[in-house]
Structure 1
Amino acid sequence: MSVLYPTLLLCAYGFFSNLRPLEPFLTPYLLGPDQNLTESQVVGEIFPVWTYSYLLLLFPTFLATDYLRYKPVLVLQATSLVVTYVLLLKARGVLAMQFLEFFFGLATASDVAYYSYIYSVVEAKHYQKVTSYCRSVTLLGSAAGSLTGQLLLSVGKLQLRHLLIVTLTSFAVAFVGPWFLPMPKRSLFFHKSPGTAEDIQHNSNFPESRVPLNQDVSESKAGSPPRAFTKVLHTLWDDFLQCYKCGPLLAWSLWWALATCGYFQVINYAQPLWESIRPSHEHDIYNGYVETLSTLLGALAALLVGYLPICWSLWGELSLCVLSFLMAACIFVMDTRNNIWLCYGFYILFRATYMLLITVATYQIAANLNMQRYALVFGVNTFMALLLQTLITVVVVDSAGLGLDIKTQFFIYGGFFVVISLVFLMAGLWTATRRRAEQEVLANMCTETDSPPVRDASGCR
C-alpha cells in the first residue's frame, strides 16, 4: 500500500495535468477573436517569454524541489497551471499573455519535482516500474488531451474557448492531487538518510555507477541551512566535474543538449508554421490528430529502443549523425513544401525520431551514472539546451532581435540539425579511427603476451 497509494495519486496528477485539449490549438486561439493578437506579437513577443522563464527558473526550482522535499513544488506546479489558463480565459493583451508564459515556464521547470518525488517515497527496487508508470501516464494524458480537443472541435463543433474551459477543468482536478501526497522524509541532497547512496547503488536494478559518487557529501543535518546549502553546491560542482570526464557520457549529453534545443524550437513554433500554410479562420485544422499520433508514435519508438539490434557504444555517433540528418530533412520539407499534409506527416516523423534517440541517450547516460546523479546530469543537459535555445530565440525569433518570419526560422532550425549531424559524423569517424588504432595495438600486444589488456566497454577508464 505504501507504494501503491503515492504511485496512483501521482499518476492521476500526471494524467490530468497533461490532459490539455486546447494546447494543439493555442496559436489559433491567440490569433482568433478571443485574443485578437497578430502573428508577429505571438511569435516574436509572447512565445519567447516561456523560453526565458524556463531557463531562469530551472536551477532555482531544482534546488527548491530538493530542499522543500518535492511536494510543495508539485503544489506550486499545479497552481501555476491553473493560473496560466485563468489568465488565458480572463486576461487580454500582450503583457497579460507574457505573464501567462512566465507562469507556464514555472510549471515546466517544476517537472523535476514530478519525476523525482516518487523516488523519495518508494524503495529502490520499485524505481523501474514506477518510473515507467509515471512517464507512460503523462504521454497518455497528452495524447488523450489532443484527441479530445480535436474531436470536440471537429465532431462536437465547439469553439476554441470551450476547449480552454475543458482544459482548465482538467487542471482543477489535477490541482487536488498533490495536496494528498505523503510528505517525503528524505531528498537527494538536502535531506539524505544514512546509507542512501549505498542502498540505492546495491539494491536497484540499474547498472552500477561507472562514475563514482562523491562520498564526502552526504549529511545535510550537520551545520546551519546556509552551510548546508553551500555544501550542496560544492557537492554538485565536484560531481559535475567527475561525471563529465566520461567520454561516452559527454558525447550523448552533447547530443541531448543540441537536439533538445532544436526540438523545443520546432514543436514550440510548429503551430504558427501550420497557421501560415493553412489558416484556421479559412479551413478546418487537424492539429489535435497530429499531436495525438505524434505522441503515440513517439512512445512506440521509445519502446522499440529495447529491441533494436544496435551496439550503441560502437555505432552511437554514426547513428546520431544519420538520424539527426533525417530530422533536418523533416524540417526542410515542412518549411519548403507549402502542403499541410506533408507538414503534418514530417512533423510526426520528426517527433518520433527524437523520442527514439532521446530514449537511447537517456539509457546510455544512465548506464554511466549512479542513480544519485541522474538529476544532476539530466538537469545540466536540459539547462544547456535551454541556454542555447534562449540564444537562438533572442537572435532569430524575438522582435528585439532579428524577428525573422516563421519560414526563415524553420530554415535555420533545419540547418541547425545539419550542423548536429556533421558534428557527430566527425565524432563517429574519429571514434572508428581510434578503435582501429587500438585494435592494432592490441593485436601487436597479443603477439607478445597471452593476456591482452581489457578495456571497459563503455569507453570510460
Structure 2
Amino acid sequence: MEISQLYPTIWLCVYGFFSNLRPSEPFLTAFLMGPDKNLTETEVVNEIYPIWTYSYLVLLFPVFLATDYLCYKPVLILQATSFVVTYAMLLKAQGVMAMQLLEFFFGLATATDVAYYSYIYSVVEPAQYQRVTGYCRSITLLGSAAGSLAGQILVSVGQVPLFYLSVITLVSSVLAFIAPWFLPMPSKSLFFHLNSGAKERVKSGHLNGQNHLDKAEDTERVPLKINDLVMVTKTSDGDNSSNSLVDVLRILWKDFLQCYSCPTLLAWSVWWALATCGYFQVINYTQALWEKVLPSQEFEIYNGYVETVSTLLGASAAFGVGFVKISWAVWGELSLCIFSVVMAVAMYVMDTVRNIWVCYISYIVFRATYMLLITIATYQIAVNLSMQRYALVFGVNTFIALLLQTLLTLVVVDTAGLGLDVFTQFLVYASYFTVIAVVFFLAGLYKLASKRCSKTDGETNTKDSDSLSRDSPPISEQLQQIPDT
C-alpha cells in the first residue's frame, strides 16, 4: 500500500478505535437507573431508549446523501462532535428530556457511521478495498472489546464508580474527535462527484463485480450491465463533474430495482433487514433485562466481560466463516432458518429462566450467531455488486431494518403503544425470530422443491430428446422420403 493511501487508513483506524472505546457502554442502564441519574425503569426503557431508534431512522437517508455530497470528511467530523456531545450530556445533564436529547445526538452519531465505512473507498484504489475494510472493521471491534473489558476491570477490581467510566468514555471521544481533522479531503465520491478516473473505476467496479460472479459458483447473477449505470454529469468544470440530486436519485432508483430483482440477493437482504431489526432491539434492552434479573445496586454485575466475550467470539465466528465451504445458493435459506431458531431459543431462555448466568450465556450465543450470519449475508450480497450498488443495498437494508424496528418499538416498547415490561418484550423478540425462522424454512423447502422439479423436467426432456433421436431416421433419409412435386 502506498504512503498516500496508508496515511488516511492509519488515521481512520485511530478514529475507529477511540470512538468505539466506551467503558461506560455495558453499564449504561445501570448508570441511568442508579443514584447519579435516578431514573426509573419505565423512563429508561419506554421513554428514553426509543428516541435513538426514531432519530436513527429519520436521519439515515439524508445523512447518506449528505455524506456522499460533502465527500465524507465533514460528516466524520460531525459524527465525532456528536459523540462528544452525547457523552458530555451523559455526565452533566439530568432528567428525561435531557436524556432523550442525548439519544437524539447518539442517533445522529450512529446514522453518520456510513461516513466511516465509505470514506476509505474514496482515497484508496479498488485493489485495496478488501484489505482496508478488514482493517477498519477489525479496529472498531478491538476498540469495543477493549472498552468493555476495561470498564469491567475498573468496576470489579478497582471499584471505580460508574460516573468515572463515563468520564473515560468522554475523554476517548475527545481523542477520537482529533483524528478526522488530519484526514485528507477526498476529491471524489461514489455518486455526486466523479472525475474521469472515477468514472472508469465505476465501470471497472461493474466489471469486477461480474468477474466475482464468474468465480463464485454458489451465487445467482444480478443483472449487471455496464450501460445500466448512466452517469448524467455536468461538464462545466472540465474533468471534474458533479451529479445533480435528481440525477443521483434517478440512478439510485434504477439500481435499486435491478439489484433487488436477483432472488439470491433479495433473500439475503430480507434476512439482513429482519434480523438486524431484532438485533438492535435486543442490544438496546438487554441491559434493562439484566438489571431486573440482578440489580446492580445490590449485586456485582459482569456486563463488561459478557460484551467483551460476545464481541471477540462473534469476530472469531465471522473470521472463521471464510474457511467454511458450503453451497449457500442451495442451503442458504435453510441455514438462515436453523440459526434464526438458535437466536429465538436464546431469547426465550433469557426471558424465562431469569438466571443472570443463563442470561449472559444466551446473550453471547445470540450475538455471536448474528455476527456469523451477518458476515455471510454481507459476503453473499457484496460479491454480486459494484461498490456503488454495495453502498446502496446496505443503505436500503439498514433503512428497512430501522423502519421495522421503529414499528416494533412503537407497538411494543413506547408508552404511546403497549408499553410492555422488559420480560414481555423479550418474549415478543423470541417470537419475532421464530417467525423469521418459519419464513426461511418455507423459502428453503420451496427452493429445494423447485430445483428438484427443474432437475426432473431436465431429465425428462433429455429422455424425450434421446427417444426422438432413436425413433427418427436421419435427416438425409427424411429428405429422400419427400415426394417430388
TM range (shorter): over 0.9
Q: Considering only aligned residues, what root-mean-square deviation do their CA atoms show, in Å?
A: 1.7
Contact 1:124 1:203 in 2 (8 A): no
Return the letter of the residue paired with 2:203: E
Q: Which of 164, 181, 184 does residue 183 from structure 2 map onto?
A: 181
Instruction: Tell me which residue corresponds to 2:171.
Output: 169
User: SS of 1:285's equivalent?
Assistant: coil
The alpha carbon displacement at 1:442 in A equals 1.6
Secondary structure, aligned partner of 1:189: coil
Deviations 1:395-415 (A, max 9, x none): 100011110000000000000
Q: CA deviation at 1:138?
A: 0.3
Deviation at 1:201, TM superposition (A): 3.7
Q: Which amino acid aligns with 1:425?
A: F
Deviation of the 1:199 alpha carbon:
3.1
Superimposed CA distance per residue, residues 116-166 of structure 1 (whole angstroms, 9 cap, x where no aligned partner): 000000000000100000000000000000000001111111100100000
The answer as to whether partners of 1:334 and 1:346 remain within 8 angstroms in 2 is: yes
Q: 1:92 aligns with which of 94, 102, 117?
A: 94
Task: Choose from 279, 290, 297 the match for 1:281.
Answer: 297
What pairs with 1:27-426 in structure 2 (closer than 5 Å)? 27-194=29-196, 195-202=200-207, 207-208=212-213, 210-212=222-224, 215-222=228-235, 228-426=244-442
Alpha-carbon shift at residue 367 of structure 1 (Å): 2.1
The alpha carbon displacement at 1:370 in A equals 1.9
**How much has 1:221 moved relative to structure 2?**
3.1
User: Contact conserved, 2:210 with 2:384, CA < 8 A, in 1?
Assistant: no
Q: Secondary structure at the match of 2:212?
A: coil
Q: Whole-Å Cα distance in 1 between the matches of residues 34 and 448 of structure 2? A: 54
How many aligned positions are there? 450
Distance 1:227 1:11, change over 3 A: closer
Q: Please state whether the residue corresponding to 1:404 is helix, strand or coil.
A: coil
Distance in 2 of aligned mates of 1:123 and 1:100: 38
Question: Equivalent residue of 1:3, what SS?
Answer: helix
Unaligned regions of 5+ residues in structure 2, if any? 214-220, 467-485
- Secondary structure in structure 1 of the residue aligned to 2:295: coil
- Over 3 Å counting, the alpha-carbon distance change for 1:447 and 1:126 in structure 2 is same
Q: Which residue in the other structure is 1:458 paired with?
A: none
Change (3 A) 1:275 1:386: same
Deviations 1:318-339 (CA, angstroms, capped at 9, x unpaired): 0111110110000000000020
Q: Provide the secondary structure at the position in 2 that maps to 1:221.
A: coil
Q: Is the 8 A contact 1:395 1:403 kept in 2?
A: yes
1:5 and 2:7 equivalent?
yes
Give the direction of change, closer, same or farther, for the CA distance of 1:146–1:83 in structure 2 (3 Å limit).
same
What is the one-letter code of the residue matched to 1:329?
A: V
* Kept after mapping to 2: 8 A contact 1:262/1:389: yes
Whether the aligned pair in 2 keeps the contact of 1:217 and 1:232 (CA below 8 Å) is no
Whose Rg is larger?
A: 2
> Are the counterparts in 1 of residues 76 and 180 from structure 2 also a CA contact under 8 Å?
yes
Deviation at residue 443 of structure 1 after TM alignment: 1.3
Q: Deviations over 1:32-63 (max 9, x none)?
A: 11111000000000000000000000000000
Letter in 2 for 1:359: T
State the AA in 2 paired with 1:37. L
User: Percent identical across equivalent pairs?
Assistant: 64
Q: Is the 8 A contact 2:347 2:362 kept in 1?
A: yes
Report the Cα distance in structure 2 between the residues aligned to 1:303 and 1:432, rounded to whole angstroms.
29
Q: Deviations over 1:280-338 (max 9, x none)?
A: 00000000000000000000110111122321110000011111011000000000002
Amino acid at match of 2:50: P
What amino acid maps onto 1:381 in structure 2? N
Q: Distance in 1 between matches of 2:423 and 2:281?
A: 13
- The AA in structure 2 aligned to 1:18 is N
Unaligned residue ranges in structure 1 (runs of 5+): 451-461
CA distance in 2, matches of 1:206, 1:261: 32
Instruction: Output the CA distance in 2 between the equivalents of 1:278 and 1:240.
Output: 47
Letter in 1 for 2:462: C
TM-score normalised over the length of structure 2: 0.90
Please name the residue that 1:444 is paired with: 460
The 3-state SS of whatever aligns with 1:207 is: helix
